[in-house]
Copies of this chain bind each other. A is one copy, B any other.
Amino acid sequence: MVQRVHVRGVPAATNAGLDPMGTTAARIVGTNVAKLADFDDTVKIWVHEELVDGRKLTDIINTEHVNVRYLPGHKLPDNVVAVPDAIEAVRDATHIIVVLPHQYIQHLLDTVHGSILPNASAISLIKGIGISDQGMTTMTQLIHRTLAIPVSSLSGANIANEIAEEKYCETTIGCQDPDEAIVWRSLFNTPYFQVNCVADVIGVEFCGALKNVVAVGAGFIDGLHLGNNTKAAIIRIGFLEMRRLAMHIAGGGIQESTFMESCGLADVITTCYGGRNRRLAQEFVQTGKSMPQLEKELLDGQKLQGYLTAGEVHSYIDSCGVTDHFPLFTNIYQICYENKPPHTIFAGLNVDFSRDTKTPSPAL
């Protein structure tokens, strides 16, 4: 039996600004720590300062308890305190929650490095992964490399606004240390946000990153006005290519069963029916505009994760000479980057995945 760990800490959700998930996480964790004896009551969140109608966003959050810019309409508990200084947010924190678009992460780490407690630990909610022909770097690896503290991961079928509306969902925490897993679970678990813990930090991150490529494929299907059968086929094949790719890159470092958790199966489904990766891919087919153009027009110039990851994935599988084993990822790449027509997504998809698991079954 695992012993309950006694921690007195200050959970800090960083960068509640740019992403509604940061504020959503702070809302959950703030509500939970107020009831937990083992934590300080205050949750400091770093908010990238900006002016909203002439007022500082941090001031609005701290007086009206709503992040009017990134999670309007959802009250935060009073114990969530916004600070514009990242160093102030993490100082004295034993538990640091990292949420921001992954292109900003290294700068943040360089800023706070040297200001964190030596016994702190972190959890990453960042979607995205660095894959290149040199291999891959996950966000937890990047954070660990700079901060030299234990880093866990959290990912799931978690569209932020739906969580804020307290609609039932699940999430997955990847954490190597069983004691720490209990602590992270106590910070995040609520009746409407059900946490499952697995001892597979990287597997959880792979799921969160690769599902966006599948969602681009699903968006193409919607853009082509095909039906439920077709979309389900693309989701199925995409899910199995995700698992195959993660196993190819990380081998024994990833557990097959992680793909059946919320971060895997459920998140692929959510992302292929909702979410902006699907939506932009649909626009891509229907308007004939390029992805960079759509990013500019519809995402305020932000990068579309699935498009970016499709490129990184292709660079990796191409350098390994295994594109034949990933026909869907290859087709999605060629449609996004090489002007192949969207209906070529179906080329060569009849792949046998039945031998991918550790307990292969004799397919014919």
A residues lining the B interface (CB < 8 Å): 2, 156-159, 162-163, 165, 167-170, 175, 178, 181-182, 194, 196-200, 226-233, 235-236, 239-240, 255-258, 260-262, 265-267, 269-270, 273-275, 346, 349-350, 352-354, 357-364
User: Which residues of chain B have C-beta atoms less than 8 A from A228's C-beta?
Assistant: 157, 159, 162, 269-270, 273-275
**A220 to B: closest C-beta gap in Å:** 11
Tell me the minimal C-beta distance from A255 to chain B in angstroms: 4
* Residues of B with C-beta under 8 A to A267: 232
Query: Counting chain B CB atoms within 10 Å of each CB, which of A167, A239, A359 scores highest?
Result: A167
The distance from the CB of A199 to the nearest CB of chain B, in whole angstroms, is 6
Q: Which of A198, A269, A346 has most chain B Cβ within 10 Å?
A: A269
Among B159, B235, B358, which residue has its beta carbon within 8 angstroms of that of A229? B159
Determine if A273 and B273 form an interchain contact, defined as CB atoms under 8 angstroms apart: yes
> How many monomers of this protein are in the complex?
2
Known pairs A157-B233, A228-B274, A270-B229; A363 contacts B199 (CB<8 A) = yes
B170–A257 CB distance below 8 A: no
Write the nearest CB–CB distance from A68 to chain B, whole angstroms: 22
- With a CB–CB cut-off of 8 A, which chain B residues contact A163? 229
Set of chain B residues within 8 Å of A240, measured between Cβ atoms: 260
Tell me if B350 and A196 are in contact (CB < 8 A).
yes
Closest chain B residue, CB of each to CB of A240: B260
Given known contacts A162-B227, A182-B364, A232-B266, what 13 new A-B pairs fall within 8 Å (CB)? A2-B364, A157-B229, A159-B227, A167-B230, A169-B230, A198-B363, A198-B364, A199-B362, A228-B273, A229-B266, A231-B269, A231-B270, A236-B269
Q: Cα distance A196–B354 when bound, in Å?
A: 10
B233, A170: Cβ atoms under 8 Å? yes
Q: Given A167-B226, A353-B260, A361 and B159 touching (CB < 8 A)?
A: no
Q: Tell me, rounded to whole Å, the shortest Cβ–Cβ distance linking A45 to chain B.
A: 22
A288 → chain B, closest Cβ, in Å?
Answer: 21
Interface centre among A196, A267, A275, A364 (most CB of B within 10 A): A364
A158 to B266, CA, bound (A): 21
Residue numbers in B under 8 Å from A168 (CB-CB): 226, 229-230, 233, 346
9 cross-chain CB contacts under 8 A: A167-B227, A167-B229, A178-B364, A181-B364, A196-B363, A198-B363, A228-B275, A231-B269, A359-B359
Residues of B close to A352: CB separation below 8 A: 196
Q: Which residue of chain B has the shortest Cβ distance to A237 in the bound complex?
A: B170
Q: What is the CA–CA distance of A198 and B364 in the complex, to the nearest angstrom?
A: 6
Least CB distance from A169 to B in Å reads 4
Chain B residues within an 8 Å CB radius of A256: 357, 359, 361
A32 to chain B, nearest CB (A): 16
In the assembly, what is the distance between CA of A270 and CA of B163, in Å?
24
